[in-house]
Structure 1
Amino acid sequence: MQPDELIQIQSQLRYRLLEDSRTRVSGGARDLAAHLLLYLDDGLYCWNLTVSWLRDVLDADRVDGGFFTQGDQAFIPLAESLHPTREVPSSVGLKVDTGDFGVRCVRSSNVTVSFADVESENRVQFALRQHLRALGTRSRLAVALRDGEESVGLICADWMEADKATEPGRRERLDEIARSVLGPVFAALRRASKISPPVGGVKTAVLDVGPGLALLTPAERKVAQLAVEGLSYKEIARKLNRSTFTVDHQLRSIREKLGVCSTSKAIHILTEELVA
């Protein structure tokens, strides 16, 4: 994703999700949207942030997700979050046949689909049931991420016990987040990836970064560089065409990753690495 393109996408999504009275989100969904906007240049981080946030909100044993378009023959989860105190098998990298009836039910639905018990669910055919058994899944919520008519991804929330997916409020909560936040954000990421230069088409320099810089996302490194140069919050925001709210969140994230409580200490650490 190119810098000008990133700025334009961030601006459009910020207005749609955080400012426009007709479409803006509130509560926890607003916090998730604000954080995703900070990391639009790091798609994998956005997926990891999303599944981790959803696992906590839904109190699920596993949440996974990844990009998916209508013509894909298989769905392969790109990121997942597992319950920290239970032995939950990983689903990342495992292929799911999108021709399976259960998957087609999710793909064709405009709302989140719940599977109370995959062992007795007639929408789950043999191959998918075997797949879910291997993952220890008994109950599942699944939703296709869309922005309008555009299909861009899938999110699945799993529980190792039956009927957990049908507990009050869970399906509605996932439905709201998928429709209002995740569909628009991942559609923007998908469109940006299609028009960005292909891998190998453009040569980029490989930076030899220190241990502190290695913890930061590309967007955070840009902010860190300008902070080290002595620019204020407002000056950084103006130079990167971002809001001071965004810059404040990024500097807060930088401080947390470096394990310091002040921006000045973070700048001191990063100055040594950038100058070295």
Structure 2
Amino acid sequence: METLSQDAWDGPAFAEDFGGGVFATQRRLRTRLLDRGVIRDVHARDLAAHMLLRLDDLPGCWSIATNWLRAALGCQRVDTGFGIREAQDYFPGFAEAKDVNYDVPSFGCGRAVDNRDAAMQAMWLEPRPLIFADIKQDSRVTIRLRQRMSGARTKSKLAWALRTERGGYGLICADWTEHLVPWESALYDCFEQTVTDVLSPIIAAAKQIAEQDLRSEPGKSLASLAQNAPLSGTAPLATLTASELDVARLVAKGMSYKAIARVRDRSLSTIDHQLRSIRQKTGAASTSALVSLLARADLL
């Protein structure tokens, strides 16, 4: 099976994927990522397919990605932002997914991070994802950045740059706020492979499409797209499996756990597990919130 390293996207062939309109770009990316089997994490193939469907909706595309990655890693927050290594400031928070089971603060909040900080520069430059196993003990993190991370309750972090042949164009961070990151190679591999094989190429294409659309709307920017992200609030539904979506519809109808288990011919523990997964993926902490989400997506 063909695999791609982070540097394998370097070159004019990938740059060509940005031309020819949305459908042509979707088709070329689908051929390269899915048909040729370059995505190493088998579960991330579904992520790529869902993201490609929302290629012309940058916030929605990012929402699918951050919710999927947060659930896959079991972390409490995934945060993203656009920028370049040479800039003085980096603005996190373009897209963010949080674990609804905890009171997790946002990391962005419109506040810039000093991009010249050594740890920030390392995020941009390292050839593999950075692990900050314990923010309080990590000597790479300056006092000022440590205070910012502590204010967002970050205990551990995985961080890396999104890259194309032009270099890094954004950062993605997975944060653990309730405990330190588990020492599991599978988590690291999932993060590295998903960022390399799926997020870097697809978000780059979605970003370019969004920038092309914004050229015809003076005064608007990528930041304004992030502010209007609630319009794409149904995007996390795309991260649900077909079975989870069926269960969500039954919950929205007001059925009890026992009734759902009977209709689905599943155990109560299976239904409970699926509902936990639905809650984590969609951020819907109540039945009414789930009903509202399904209604906006016309899925009731």
Counterpart selection for 2:107 from 75, 85, 91: 91
Relative to structure 1, the CA distance from residue 105 to residue 198 in structure 2 (aligned partners, 3 Å threshold; closer, same or farther) is same
Structure with higher RCO (Cα < 8 A, 6+ apart): 2
Match for residue 68 of structure 2 among 37, 47, 53: 53
SS of the equivalent of 1:27 reads coil
1:158 alignment partner, SS class:
strand
Verify: 1:34 aligned to 2:49, yes or no: yes
Could you tell me how far apart the structure 2 residues matched to 1:46 and 1:259 are? 19
State the partner residue of 2:78: 63
Q: Which residue of 1 aligns with 2:118?
A: 101
* Deviations 1:138-172, CA, capped at 9 Å, x for gaps: 11110111124521211101112453154332111
Distance 2:142 2:151 in 1: 14
Q: After superposition, where does 1:1-276 map in structure 2 within 5 Å?
A: 5-21=21-37, 23-25=38-40, 27-76=42-91, 77-92=93-108, 93-161=110-178, 163-164=180-181, 166-196=183-213, 198-200=215-217, 257-260=297-300
Work out whether residues 145 and 152 of structure 1, in 8 Å CA contact, stay in contact via their aligned partners in 2: yes
Deviations 1:101-126 (A, max 9, x none): 11111110121100011111011001
Quick check: 36-45 or 91-100, which moved more? 91-100
Contact 2:58 2:210 in 1 (8 A): no
Letter matched to residue 128 of structure 1:
L
Question: What SS does structure 1 have at the residue aligned with 2:297?
Answer: helix
- Shift in CA distance, 119/215, structure 1 to aligned 2, threshold 3 Å: closer
Q: Deviations over 1:123-144 (max 9, x none)?
A: 1001110100100111111011
Match of 2:265 in 1: none
For the 8 Å contact 2:41–2:193, the answer to whether it is kept is no
Tell me which amino acid in the other structure corresponds to 2:176. W
What residue identity is the alignment partner of 1:54?
L
The amino acid of 1:60's aligned partner reads C
Could you give the per-residue CA deviations for residues 190-228 of structure 1, whole angstroms, max 9, x where no partner exists?
3334444515359xxxxxxxxxx99888xxxxxxxxxxx
Larger radius of gyration: 1
**Residues 245-264 of structure 1: per-residue CA shift (max 9 Å, x gap):** xxxxxxxx99992134xxxx
Distance in 1, Cα, partners of 2:87 & 2:169? 11
1: CA distance, partners of 2:135 / 2:233? 40
Matched residues, number: 213
Quote the offset at 1:41 in angstroms: 0.8
Code of the aligned partner of 1:258: D
Letter of the 1:17 partner, please give it: L
The two structures have a TM-score, normalised by structure 2, of: 0.64
The separation in 1 between residues aligned to 2:214 and 2:232, in whole angstroms, is 24
Q: Give the whole-Å Cα distance in 2 for the aligned partners of 1:141 and 1:165.
A: 11
Superposition TM-score, scaled by structure 1 size: 0.69
Structure 1 residue ranges without an equivalent (≥5): 203-212, 218-252, 261-276
How far, CA to CA, are the matches of 2:296 and 2:36 in structure 1? Answer: 31
Q: Which region of structure 1 is more displaced relative to structure 2, 63-72 or 110-119?
A: 63-72
CA distance in 2, matches of 1:63, 1:10: 25
Give distance in 2, aligned partners of 1:102 and 1:125.
Answer: 8
